[in-house]
Structure 1
Amino acid sequence: MAASEVLAQAAQKTAEVTSYTVDAVVNVTHPQEGSGKVQGRMLYQSKPQLAVDLTLDTVDMGGKNLPGGVRAVLQGDTVYVKVEALKELMGATKPWIKVSLSEAGDSSQVNQYLSQIQQFDLANMTKLITASQDVKSVGNESVNGEDTTHYSGTFPVDVAVQQLPADKQEQARANLAELKDIKFDLWAGSDGLPRKLALNGSKEGATLDATLFFKGFNEAVKIDAPPADQVGELPKGTTN
């Protein structure tokens, strides 16, 4: 099968996956804001309802890190966020803050974690690389003990972002830091699903270097909302 067909098939298959786990490291540099690093893992399920459990152990942006990291749990149209630093900053009284997705867009703090979820999203990331015109197979390699085929290529960001649903495009552009072309490497298992994905890009002092490992496809995951007595509302007046 041609490498480009493998990508198309991977995008189709990942869209049908109902659950997975991803471990990710994302390093970025920005000409004005300096360098940053995000490292963490995410559990994902699409059925019986959309649910995501995101743990970010390292969140370091422009030399400022978030002690204690971040937890975000998304269930249906509600997101629960636990950030020690945010708690103090916003005067929250409970460890978790609950926000409905319709309101989350008004809160820059909550929004940045939702954007992280999108960055770790298997279907989104695989769709982006289908825009590649130069992908080729570069051999067979083992990833976490599994045999995979390694594909390598580049994709233009503006074309790639258009592969996504309309409501995801703006956030994807922001995540990709207005980069022009991105080099990617994809390691696909015999089932056509990605086991590892690496993205590298740079433009005028901005760089992106992301590595994602995927496992546990269609295996049962347990994603629970935090206990009700641990959850408070987003304090009013903190939505900017």
Structure 2
Amino acid sequence: MNALAQKIIDAHGGLETWNRFSSLTAHLRQGGALWGLKGHPGKLDETDVTVGLREEWASHAPFGPEGKVSRFEPGRVVLRDSAGSDLDTLSDPRSSFAGHALETPWTELQLAYFAGIAMWTYLNMPFLLAQPGIESEKIADWHENGETWRRLRVTFPKSIATHSTVQTLYVDEAGLLKRHDYDVEIAGNTPGAHYIGGYVNVQGLMFPTERRIYPRLPDGSSLSEPLVVSIDLSDISLA
């Protein structure tokens, strides 16, 4: 890892502490325009999410008012009933988004895939920077709202399912995340600026509890509306 990546990981509690755990669970409250645009308003407004910290998987429960439970892995998404019986399955889910634009509706299984890659990425960041195959490099500083943020360009291997191959992290002087940029490939490469705050210490690790995602312009600046997605986390625990 480069020096900036190491500083960011250390600021969030360090790898030694992170490696004590294999999963993370949190309560989510979500909003924003995306869910209705994709045909699923309210389905994931309030739920619990659990993600793997050693392997890539995520589960939302409940997944919608019927009390379903999702299970996302890069090569397969499953929806189950509350008793654990499979209801529907999608293999090779990434390929199902071919030709999609921002306005293209999603099926329930596609929604579960998106929610899975999103929360797995967010909740494992920045410790993903230490994973084999993930490359990072420091790029020019960024000035916003009277602050100067250091930036790290991150390149993901094809083996990891996430928003886009190349993403950018913005951090403050202490090394805590302030913003996270990516292009949502499965929604027509829609560019997003994802703002991060509300840090809390959980079992020796620093986690943001407030996330707000807005459209990003070609020059890197962001629009103040529409609010694409809001995420508020509580009751974070690691096991």
* TM-score normalised to structure 2 length: 0.46
Bigger relative contact order (CA 8 A; separation at least 6): 1
Structure with greater proportional helix content:
1
* TM-score normalised to structure 1 length: 0.46
